[in-house]
C-alpha cells in the first residue's frame, strides 16, 4: 500500500504550530515571524510536504511563475523569428540576464517562462497569457526602441518591469545603466594611455543605450580638445564589429585607439586589427563594453566597461515581485553605475 502524501496537519505537528500558521508560510503571507517561517520550512523539508499548486493558486491568485519576454517591434516571418531566437541564445548578454533573474526567483520558489514577442500576434499572446493567469507578471527585455509591448502591458494594467528605459514613456518600472558615464570612462582611459587618433564603433544608433554611450564618449573627448571622433555603426555582433573596424581603418588608417559599444564588436575589431598587422594594444588600444564572457576569452583579454547585468536583472525580478505582491504600487527606476575593468587590450 502506498504511503499517503504528507499534509499541512503533518507539517503543523512536526513544527509545533497551528495549521493556519503553516498555511500562511506556504502561501507567502508576509506577517509571519521569520523564526516561525524557518521552523515551518524545516518541518516541510523533514516531512517531504509538497503544496497542492492548484489549490494554492486559488487561495493566493498567484502561479509563482513570471514571463521572461524578449520583445521587438518587427513583423517578422517564421524564418526571421527563428533567426532572432538563435541570436538571442548566442548572445552572452541574454545568458547573464537569465542568470540574474533566476538568482532572485529560485530561492523564492518562483520560475521564469521564456516567451518571444517579435510579431503583433506574439505580443497579443503575451498579454493574453498574463491576463488569463498563465504568469503573475512579465520581465521584458526589448530589442527595439519602438517596441509596442511595454505600452500594451501598461494599458492592460499588468505587472511588468523592463530591462532598460523604454523608448517611449510608459508607467512601468525599469532598471538601466548610466550609459553616458560608461562612454566617459572609456574615453578617459584611452586618453590616459596617450591615444590621440581615437575612433569608435557605435551600437545601433536607433537604440537609446547606443546613443548615450556615444554621447558620453564624444563629450569627454571634446572636453579634452578632440572635436572630431570618427564613428562607424555596428549591430552588437562580431561580424558587425569586423565590418565597422574595416571601414574605420580604410578611412582613418592612423587610428590608435578604439571604443566599441559592446564586447562582441570589440572581439571583431581586434580580429580585423590583427589581420591588418596592427598590434593590440601597442599599435591600437581597444576598449569594449559589458564585461561579458567574451572579454576574458578574447585575445588579448579586453579592457571593457562593466555593465552589472546580473545585478540589474535580479533587481528587475525583485521589483516585479514587489509589484505582484502589492508592496510597490507606483513605477520606479533603478539606475546602475558602470565600472572600467582594465585588462590587456588597452
User: pLDDT tens for residues 180-207?
Assistant: 999 999 999 999 999 999 999 999 998 8
Query: What is the predicted pLDDT for the residue at 72?
Result: 73
pLDDT band per the 50, 70, 90 thresholds, residue 226: very high
pLDDT digits (tens, 9 = 90+) for 56-91: 554 445 668 899 999 875 555 555 556 656 666 677
Average pLDDT over every residue of 111-125: 89
Measured in degrees and rounded to the nearest 5, phi and psi for residue 149 equal -60, -45
Give the percent of the chain with pLDDT over 70: 89
pLDDT band per the 50, 70, 90 thresholds, residue 2: very low
To 5 degrees, how large is the angle CA 114–CA 293–CA 118?
Answer: 30
Residue 103 is classified by DSSP as H
pLDDT digits (tens, 9 = 90+) for 204-221: 998 889 999 999 999 999
Is the separation of the CB atoms in 22 and 11 below 8 Å?
A: yes
Query: What is the predicted pLDDT for the residue at 289?
Result: 97
Residue 92 Cα distances to 9, 18, 89, 294, 310, angstroms: 47, 48, 8, 8, 11
Residue 162 Cα distances to 141, 283, 311, angstroms: 6, 41, 14
Give the percent of the chain with pLDDT over 90: 60
Strands laid side by side in the 339-341 sheet:
231-233, 198-202, 257-260, 285-290, 303-306, 339-341
Name the residue among 207, 251, 213 with its Cα closest to residue 232. Answer: 251
User: SS3 of 231, please?
Assistant: strand
Query: What is the predicted pLDDT for the residue at 38?
Result: 87
**Lowest-pLDDT choice from 152-156, 189-193, 238-242:** 152-156
User: SS3 of 37, please?
Assistant: helix
Average pLDDT over every residue of 87-105: 85
Beta strand 303-306 pairing with 339-341: antiparallel
Query: What is the predicted pLDDT for the residue at 11?
Result: 86
Is the separation of the CB atoms in 227 and 259 below 8 Å?
A: no
More confident residue, 79 or 54: 79
Judge whether residue 168 has pLDDT over 90. Answer: no
Query: What pairs with residue 341 in β-bridges?
Result: 304
pLDDT band per the 50, 70, 90 thresholds, residue 54: very low
Query: What is the predicted pLDDT for the residue at 60?
Result: 46
Average pLDDT over every residue of 27-42: 81
Residue 49 Cα distances to 53, 60, 193, angstroms: 12, 18, 61
Average pLDDT over every residue of 221-237: 95
Neighbours of 285 (CB within 10 A): 21
CA 157 to chain centre: 23
pLDDT band per the 50, 70, 90 thresholds, residue 146: confident
Judge whether residue 153 has pLDDT over 70. Answer: yes
CA pseudo-torsion sign 144, 148, 151, 157: negative
pLDDT band per the 50, 70, 90 thresholds, residue 164: very high
Name the residue among 283, 308, 302 with its Cα closest to residue 342. Answer: 302
pLDDT digits (tens, 9 = 90+) for 275-313: 999 999 999 999 999 999 999 999 999 999 999 999 999
Is the separation of the CB atoms in 190 and 257 below 8 Å?
A: yes
CA dihedral 128, 133, 138, 143 (to 10 degrees): -30
Confidence (pTM): 0.78
What integer best gives the mean pLDDT of the chain?
88
Amino acid at each position: 500500500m502506498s504511503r499517503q502524501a504528507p499534509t499541512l496537519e503533518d507539517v503543523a505537528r512536526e513544527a509545533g504550530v497551528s495549521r493556519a500558521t503553516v498555511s500562511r508560510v506556504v502561501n507567502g503571507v508576509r506577517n509571519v515571524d521569520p523564526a516561525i517561517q524557518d521552523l515551518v520550512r524545516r518541518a516541510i523539508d523533514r516531512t517531504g510536504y509538497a503544496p497542492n499548486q492548484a489549490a494554492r493558486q486559488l487561495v493566493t491568485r498567484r502561479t509563482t511563475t513570471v514571463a521572461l519576454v524578449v520583445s521587438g517591434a518587427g513583423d517578422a516571418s517564421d524564418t526571421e523569428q527563428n533567426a532572432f531566437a538563435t541570436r538571442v541564445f548566442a548572445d552572452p548578454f541574454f545568458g547573464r540576464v537569465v542568470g540574474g533573474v533566476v538568482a532572485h526567483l529560485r530561492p523564492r520558489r518562483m520560475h521564469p517562462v521564456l516567451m518571444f514577442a517579435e510579431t503583433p500576434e506574439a505580443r497579443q499572446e503575451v498579454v493574453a497569457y498574463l491576463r488569463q493567469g498563465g504568469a503573475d507578471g512579465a520581465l521584458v527585455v526589448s530589442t527595439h526602441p519602438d517596441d509596442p509591448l511595454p505600452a500594451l502591458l501598461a494599458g492592460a494594467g499588468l505587472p511588468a518591469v523592463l530591462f532598460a528605459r523604454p523608448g517611449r514613456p510608459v508607467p512601468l518600472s525599469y532598471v538601466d545603466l548610466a550609459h553616458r558615464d560608461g562612454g566617459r570612462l572609456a574615453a578617459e582611459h584611452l586618453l590616459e594611455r596617450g591615444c590621440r587618433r581615437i575612433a569608435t564603433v557605435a551600437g545601433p544608433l536607433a537604440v537609446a543605450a547606443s546613443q548615450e554611450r556615444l554621447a558620453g564618449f564624444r563629450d569627454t573627448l571634446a572636453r579634452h580638445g578632440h572635436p572630431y571622433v570618427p564613428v562607424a555603426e555596428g549591430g552588437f555582433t562580431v561580424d558587425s564589429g569586423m565590418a565597422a573596424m574595416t571601414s574605420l581603418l580604410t578611412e582613418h588608417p592612423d587610428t590608435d585607439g578604439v571604443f566599441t559599444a559592446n564586447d562582441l564588436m570589440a572581439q571583431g575589431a581586434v580580429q580585423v586589427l590583427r589581420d591588418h598587422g596592427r598590434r593590440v594594444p601597442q599599435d591600437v588600444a581597444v576598449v569594449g563594453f559589458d564585461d561579458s564572457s567574451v572579454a576574458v576569452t578574447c585575445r588579448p583579454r579586453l579592457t571593457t566597461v562593466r555593465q552589472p547585468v546580473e545585478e540589474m536583472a535580479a533587481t528587475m525580478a525583485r521589483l516585479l515581485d514587489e509589484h505582484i505582491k502589492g508592496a510597490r504600487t507606483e513605477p520606479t527606476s533603478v539606475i546602475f553605475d558602470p565600472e572600467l575593468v582594465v585588462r590587456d587590450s588597452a
